[in-house]
Amino acid sequence: MPIIDVAVPVPLRQTFSYSSEQLVAVGARVKVPFGRRQLVGVVVASRAEPEHSSENDTPVKLKAIAEVLDNSPLFNTTLIALAQWLSGYYHHPIGEVWATLMPSKLRKGALLSDAQPGWMLSEEGHDPKAIAGLRGKKQQQCLELLNQGPLASDEVKAQFSAAVIKALEDKGLIEATLITHPPAGDWQHFTLQQTPPTASTEQGVAIAAINQQPGQFVPYLLDGVTGSGKTEVYLQVIEPVLRQGRQVLILVPEIGLTPQTVGRFERRFGIAVGVLHSQMTDTARLQVWQQARRGDIGIIIGTRSAIFTPLKSPGMIIVDEEHDESFKQQDGLRYHARDLAVKRAHNEQVPLILGSATPSLESLNNALNKRYTHLTLQHRAGGASHTQLKVLDSRDQPLHAGIAQGLISIMRSHLQQGNQVLVFLNRRGFAPAVLCHHCGQSVDCASCERPFTYHKSQGRLQCHHCGASRRMPTQCGSCHSADLQTSGIGTEQLEQGLGKLFPDIAQVRIDSDAVKGKDKLINRLDEINARKYQLLVGTQILSKGHHFPHVTLVVVLDCDGALFSADFRAAEKLAQLITQLAGRAGRANKPGEMWLQTDNPGHPLLQDLINNGFSHFARQALQERKLAQLPPLSSQAVFRGEANDASQVINFLQQVKQCYGVSADVAHGSFIGPLPCLIEKRQGRFRFMLIMQCQQRAALHSWLKHHLKDVESLPLAAKVRWSLDIDPVDFS
């Protein structure tokens, strides 16, 4: 009887064998009995006969698989190869790798069918009187449309609102049905909906370079300042790819995926764009996943996990804003979608474009080493001038709402000219701490031991690490003094202070508290560009992908934290943030300026960035990384552990270190730690990390792999929650 090896979704670094009536294709899902439960796994190997085991081997009796869920492989060979590579590279259990590759419906065992949901007329709906009897014009039109035959829900939705459909369904005039033969995507025969703008010289060079080598793996770093027209380059290079009937996969950061981004691709080519992001329903997700797999859609644009989308005929992969940290998954299988894109493009033999105005040092290093083709766009489209960067020394200056006196007059002059001003502060809430004025004790979150952030609008304290919330106390927890004062400034307070400083100026705050609703962010951004507000206050969100043509002044209030951070990447992140923010201003012939308020005006990082720009800074930073033997000039992995008992975690990580200690000198590797994570305690558990570092990536990996079994069999490994993070980007 055939034997099937199955990757089962459990945190065990092995596969499990089952007997089966017939051979099952590798890459198909099966339902299998596992202990006392039934799980959905993926077939990773299938063989006709049990291997002839030597006589003294104890014969294991295999359980039989319960059900074959896919008649043909659900995943093609490149995705199977990708899963295997993931399991090896990230040292992660293969079953869990497969579980993260699958849309949740498939993970739960949903059967895949070619039928897609649609609407058709019910018996009553066929009655001609039904249409006449309807009041709503839209409902009548919808009914007429369906009178011509059943239609996929997607297409009905494109023309009629959900309310119309619901009304007709409630009246019993239409009913849900399944459409078995979905229209074959005819996307390769599009006609351009708009005449592409003439490419600039730089764009032309980039486009020509990319078009020159189609259908093979060539990685490009498209290093273009904000406003230089990277998206136009994407649009022009994907056109010939689409015309050949080959699909394009575009990855974008979590926050950058706005309808505008999608709209730009739809408008140019007039074809449907498949969208994948975390807020979609499972059904919608699976729908796009299937369309991509069948080849029904030509363009797929999505966030991190979209890198796992199956493609029938891949033609190109693009990672936009490739430096963005949201491409790194921070739990479970800690993959980096950008790195994975490189791997996948290689497997699929298609070109790969990594685009950014502020490339990650990893990608820049690869470009400088000629592993990637370096394409640069240094000029802003339409000749808009670059934003002027300046440092404002806030030492010994009176501060109002956290802003130095000198800056306020600069802001005033910009506002008086009718321009918009953007004030950036990466701290939401009213104040980052509440202190007792009597004993100096801060009000801390019990489970994280970090100060609560005060949110005045809710009158509550919020822990920004674990999300815990409590009422504002009336007295100090340790000395019972009633004299509690807020300390520091968050966006909420900044907004209030600016309201007092500029009472006649319309102001808006953009942070995750203020734009919680579904379309709120998009609406606010539209309002800003319609000049409804003149003063914009906000966090991170403002730095990502949105353009503010009327902003002529950007003010950054909290540079100092990043200048002296324990995280060696903090400077890189700050430089990226500042450069991205600077790119938001000074469009449309309005020269912009940007002021960085700091107590350390002479700091070399700030000076380098201001005087020489990001690309010089980045090259300088790479030199420093080289001297310090830090990534990307070395390779890192981090063991993290957390438990209620801090000493248990430290002991565990010490033991991990000992597991590897013997061969450390051989691999020229070293350890840092165990040391507390930057967020030392979260949700009541103490967190520590052990950093492993090697100059050679391959050495690190073989070293890691060699002793991982020893780590797993440590008694403490069962008591401490631990994880392994390859190529970590965040040490919190």
Partner DNA sequence: AGCACGCCGACT
Partner DNA sequence: GTCGGCGTGCTC
Please state, in angstroms and rounded to a whole number, the distance separating the CA atoms of residues 351 and 347: 11
Please state, in angstroms and rounded to a whole number, the distance separating the CA atoms of residues 26 and 7: 11
**Which residue in 20, 27, 34, 306 binds DNA (CB under 7 A)?**
34
Q: Which residue has the tokens 């059904």?
A: 283
Burial track 12-36 (b if 16+ CB lie within 10 A, e otherwise) = eeebbbbebeeebebbbbbbbebee
Would you call the peptide bond into 632 cis, given omega within 30 degrees of 0 as the criterion? yes
- We find the least distance from the C-beta atom of residue 41 to DNA, in angstroms, to be 10
Q: Give 17 or 487: the residue with its C-beta nearer to DNA.
A: 17
Q: Is 11 in the site for DNA (CB under 7 A)?
A: yes
Which range, of 32-40, 49-57, 155-163, 556-564, touches DNA by CB under 7 A? 32-40
**Neighbour tally for 649: CB within 10 Å:** 28
- We find the least distance from the C-beta atom of residue 219 to DNA, in angstroms, to be 36
Q: Is 18 in the site for DNA (CB under 7 A)?
A: yes
Q: Is 37 in the site for DNA (CB under 7 A)?
A: yes
Q: Is 14 in the site for DNA (CB under 7 A)?
A: yes
- We find the least distance from the C-beta atom of residue 642 to DNA, in angstroms, to be 12
**Which residue in 35, 128, 383, 503 binds DNA (CB under 7 A)?**
35
Q: Is 36 in the site for DNA (CB under 7 A)?
A: yes
Q: Give 18 or 660: the residue with its C-beta nearer to DNA.
A: 18
- We find the least distance from the C-beta atom of residue 731 to DNA, in angstroms, to be 22
Please state, in angstroms and rounded to a whole number, the distance separating the CA atoms of residues 570 and 298: 38
Please state, in angstroms and rounded to a whole number, the distance separating the CA atoms of residues 267 and 265: 5
What count of residues does the chain have? 732
The 3-state secondary structure of 15-44 reads CEEEECCCCCCCCCEEEEEECCEEEEEEEE
| Structural contact between residues 29 and 65, judged by C-beta atoms closer than 8 angstroms | no
- We find the least distance from the C-beta atom of residue 19 to DNA, in angstroms, to be 7
Q: Give 14 or 485: the residue with its C-beta nearer to DNA.
A: 14
| Structural contact between residues 367 and 359, judged by C-beta atoms closer than 8 angstroms | yes
What's the Cα-to-Cα distance from 618 to each of 31, 369, 371, 378, rounded to whole Å? 50, 14, 17, 15
**Neighbour tally for 151: CB within 10 Å:** 21
- We find the least distance from the C-beta atom of residue 712 to DNA, in angstroms, to be 10
**Which residue in 23, 45, 47, 63 binds DNA (CB under 7 A)?**
63
Which range, of 29-37, 492-500, 669-677, 689-697, touches DNA by CB under 7 A? 29-37
Strand-by-strand arrangement of the 67-68 sheet: 16-19, 3-7, 37-47, 29-34, 67-68
- We find the least distance from the C-beta atom of residue 732 to DNA, in angstroms, to be 21
Question: Alpha helix locations (H) across 427-559?
Answer: 491-501, 520-529
Which range, of 28-36, 259-267, 544-552, 686-694, touches DNA by CB under 7 A? 28-36
**Residue 142 assigned to a binding site:** no
| Structural contact between residues 387 and 579, judged by C-beta atoms closer than 8 angstroms | no
Q: Is 648 in the site for DNA (CB under 7 A)?
A: no
Q: Is 12 in the site for DNA (CB under 7 A)?
A: yes
Please state, in angstroms and rounded to a whole number, the distance separating the CA atoms of residues 571 and 565: 8
| Structural contact between residues 11 and 94, judged by C-beta atoms closer than 8 angstroms | no
Q: Give 35 or 503: the residue with its C-beta nearer to DNA.
A: 35
**Which residue in 1, 22, 33, 349 binds DNA (CB under 7 A)?**
33
- We find the least distance from the C-beta atom of residue 722 to DNA, in angstroms, to be 9
Please state, in angstroms and rounded to a whole number, the distance separating the CA atoms of residues 195 and 438: 69
**Which residue in 60, 184, 530, 566 binds DNA (CB under 7 A)?**
60
- We find the least distance from the C-beta atom of residue 648 to DNA, in angstroms, to be 12
Residues 195-234 interacting with DNA (rule: CB under 7 A): none
- Joined together, the tokens standing for residue 109 give 């065992």
Which range, of 16-24, 131-139, 274-282, 452-460, touches DNA by CB under 7 A? 16-24
**Residue 659 assigned to a binding site:** no
Which range, of 55-63, 100-108, 551-559, 647-655, touches DNA by CB under 7 A? 55-63
Q: Which of 449, 529, 433 is nearest to 488 (CA)?
A: 433
Please state, in angstroms and rounded to a whole number, the distance separating the CA atoms of residues 451 and 461: 9
Amino acid letter, residue 164: V
Q: Give 8 or 596: the residue with its C-beta nearer to DNA.
A: 8
Q: Is 108 in the site for DNA (CB under 7 A)?
A: no
Which range, of 67-75, 279-287, 522-530, 718-726, touches DNA by CB under 7 A? 718-726
Strand-by-strand arrangement of the 273-276 sheet: 273-276, 299-302, 247-251, 314-320, 352-356, 219-224, 373-377
Which range, of 5-13, 174-182, 636-644, 689-697, touches DNA by CB under 7 A? 5-13
**Neighbour tally for 95: CB within 10 Å:** 25
Q: Is 49 in the site for DNA (CB under 7 A)?
A: no
Q: Is 652 in the site for DNA (CB under 7 A)?
A: no
| Structural contact between residues 424 and 594, judged by C-beta atoms closer than 8 angstroms | no
**Neighbour tally for 146: CB within 10 Å:** 23
**Residue 694 assigned to a binding site:** no
Which range, of 59-67, 122-130, 213-221, 245-253, touches DNA by CB under 7 A? 59-67
Strand-by-strand arrangement of the 116-121 sheet: 151-152, 116-121, 174-179
**Which residue in 16, 452, 614, 639 binds DNA (CB under 7 A)?**
16
Q: Is 10 in the site for DNA (CB under 7 A)?
A: yes
Which range, of 31-39, 144-152, 355-363, 396-404, touches DNA by CB under 7 A? 31-39
Q: Which bin fits 502, alpha (ψ -120 to 50), beta or left (φ > 0)? A: beta
Secondary structure of residue 87 in the 3-state scheme: helix
Q: Which residue has the tokens 């950036």?
A: 424
- We find the least distance from the C-beta atom of residue 628 to DNA, in angstroms, to be 35
**Residue 479 assigned to a binding site:** yes
CA angle, corner 726, sides to 720 and 730, nearest 5? Answer: 80
- We find the least distance from the C-beta atom of residue 677 to DNA, in angstroms, to be 19
| Residue 195: DSSP 8-state | P
**Neighbour tally for 80: CB within 10 Å:** 19
- We find the least distance from the C-beta atom of residue 467 to DNA, in angstroms, to be 21
**Which residue in 138, 260, 721, 730 binds DNA (CB under 7 A)?**
721
**Which residue in 62, 381, 466, 563 binds DNA (CB under 7 A)?**
62
User: Contacts with DNA: how many residues (CB under 7 A)?
Assistant: 19
The annotated binding site is made up of 436, 439, 445, 448, 463, 466, 476, 479
List contacts with DNA (CB under 7 A). 10-12, 14, 16-18, 32-37, 60, 62-63, 718-719, 721
Annotated binding residues for Zn(2+), written as ranges, equal 436, 439, 445, 448, 463, 466, 476, 479
